[in-house]
Amino acid sequence: MNHDFDLSAVEEEIANCMRCGNCQATCPYYQETGFESSVARGKIALAKSVLQGKIKYTPTLAERFECLTCYACNATCPCGIQIDKIFLAARAVMVRNGGSPAFKKLMAAALKNQGLLDLGLKTATLAKGLLFQPHPSGGLSPRFPLGLDLRRVVPSLSPKTFRDGMRESVTVPGAKSKVAFFTGCLVNYVYPSTGRAVVEILTKSGVSVLIPWKQHCCAAPLALNGVMDVAEQMARSQIDLFSGLDVDAVVVACGTCGESFKKKYVELLDGAPGYAGKARELAAKTCDIADFAWNVAPFNRQLLKELAMRVTYHEPCHLGRGLGVTKEPLEIIRTIPGLDFVPLREPERCCGNAGSFSFTHYDISYNILKHKLADISGTGADAVVTGCSACRMQLEDGFAQEGLGKRVFHTAELLAMSLK
């Protein structure tokens, strides 16, 4: 176990907080609650109190370290503190001391075991008529409390997962390069159309694609919630699966998954014999599909067909602030003929999904979403383009709840549509 996930390792970051409170200006969570314990300055004070022994572990304290992990505070902090590192260390300490809330334990168990997740989600597909009722929007709303808020509209699970519907290797004759595609859970189970779009873009650009069947959750839901030991095991397993492959790059279609490959595995396996070096190599190879299609293996612009739509773009936190992929999706959108692109006023503001946060804090998550919905409505766009399936789920829930009748596309889907 890497000992860096401890508050003592981030003591300097904690000491560097000058408590100016500038993080209040951009923290979406704080802006809903108005409580200092929601915002970075307050959480850092709590972390300091833990270090100084002024406060012990309590379930309430563990809850106070929860947030959207949207990195808005990092981007605002005048002292340049890596605030997320403090939060993650604090969450790891909370998990080691007293465990995380029951829901998260359940998630952790399911995500650790690919077979269980697969079976669970497939069973859910079969049992969906029992558990969910159709919502007028075309999605489903839960009939019984499943750990989901009863008001929430979730997309139908795909009857066939993306990976089940694909060959493991999609080769292009005379390919210029070969990549591995890490699909991520939501693309695999909920939005297979995104996965198909990624494969289409790559193959049309002369890139062969390998989709390792054994791949599993990237571990971000665990690492972000402080379950570091399990996350580390999963990181090792991903390294075993991906670093031996003879590929030029690993393509991802989700900012959070991308972060796991580009950052988290390196941190989790820092100094681990036989793994640290491989984790760094894998990190260097990993590339988000928007970045890849724009910079690495550019798509053929001659093939683009007109799409007559007004669209806007929502920047996922972990893709934008996390991976720094901010310009490429916009370049892609601007290149597609016929699109009327109207930017959001605050494209980089969190949509409120934040993975399990939206399960455990549905009301706050939805209130955060309302700002995004208002921003989107103001553009008059027919569809929202984004690079993250979790954001997409959140936006679709909002559109269904408010009866807005707008659609959401992954950047890859939009591009694939135009390349058809």
Partner 1 sequence: MSVQEAIYTLRSVLGKENVITAKEDLICYSFDATADLPEHLPDLLVTPMTVEQVAEVIKAANRYKMPVYPRGSGTNLSGGTVPVRGGIVLSSLKMNKILEIDPDNLTATVQPGVIIQTLNNTIAPHGLIYPPDPGSMATATMGGSVAECSGGLRGLKYGVTRDYVMGLEVVLANGDIARFGGKTVKNVTAYDMVRLFTGSEGTLGIITEIIVRLIPAPETRETMFATFADLTTAGRSITEIIRSKVIPATMEIMDRVTMETVENHAQIGLPTESEAILLVEVDGIPEVVRREAATVREVITRNGGVVKTAAGDHERDQLWAARRAALPALARKRPTTILEDATVPRSKITEMLLAIQNIGRRYNLTIGTFGHAGDGNLHPTILTDSRDQEEMERVHRAVDEIFKAALSMGGTLTGEHGIGMAKARYLPWEYGEKGVQVLQKIKEALDPEYLLNPGKMVPCREERK
User: Contact positions toward partner 1, by CB under 8 A?
Assistant: 12, 15-16, 18-22, 24-25, 34-37, 41-42, 45-46, 49, 54-55, 58, 60-61, 64, 78-80
Whichever of 14 and 257 has its CB closer to partner 1, that residue is 14
By beta-carbon proximity to partner 1, the closer residue of 60 and 302 is: 60
| Residue closest to 86 by CA, chosen among 15, 143, 175, 190 | 15
| Three-state secondary-structure class, residue 170 | strand
Closer residue to partner 1 (CB): 216 or 371: 371
**What is the SS3 assignment for 44?**
helix
> Cα dihedral sign for 407, 408, 410, 411?
positive
Q: Which residue in the block uniquely carries the two structure tokens 């936190």?
A: 317
Residue 107 · residue 356 · CB < 8 Å: yes
Q: Tell me, rounded to whole angstroms, the distance of Cα 314 from its chain centroid.
A: 13
Nearest approach, Cβ of 319 to partner 1 (angstroms)?
25
CB 110, min distance to partner 1, A: 29
- Least separation in angstroms between CB 84 and partner 1: 18
Any idea what the Cα angle at residue 251 is, between residues 246 and 252, rounded to 5°?
140
State the nearest-atom distance from the C-beta of 29 to partner 1, in Å: 13
**Among all chains, which residue has been given the structure tokens 């809850």?**
63
Nearest CB to partner 1, comparing residues 46 and 307: 46
Cα–chain center distance at 236: 20
Q: Which residues pair with 288 in a beta bridge?
A: 252
We find the least distance from the C-beta atom of residue 58 to partner 1, in angstroms, to be: 7
| In the complex, least distance from residue 327 CB atom to partner 1, rounded to whole angstroms | 18
Closer residue to partner 1 in complex, CB, 54/334:
54
- For partner 1, the closer CB: 361 or 410: 361
Tell the burial category of 337 from Cβ atoms under 10 Å away from its Cβ (0-12, 13-18, 19+): exposed
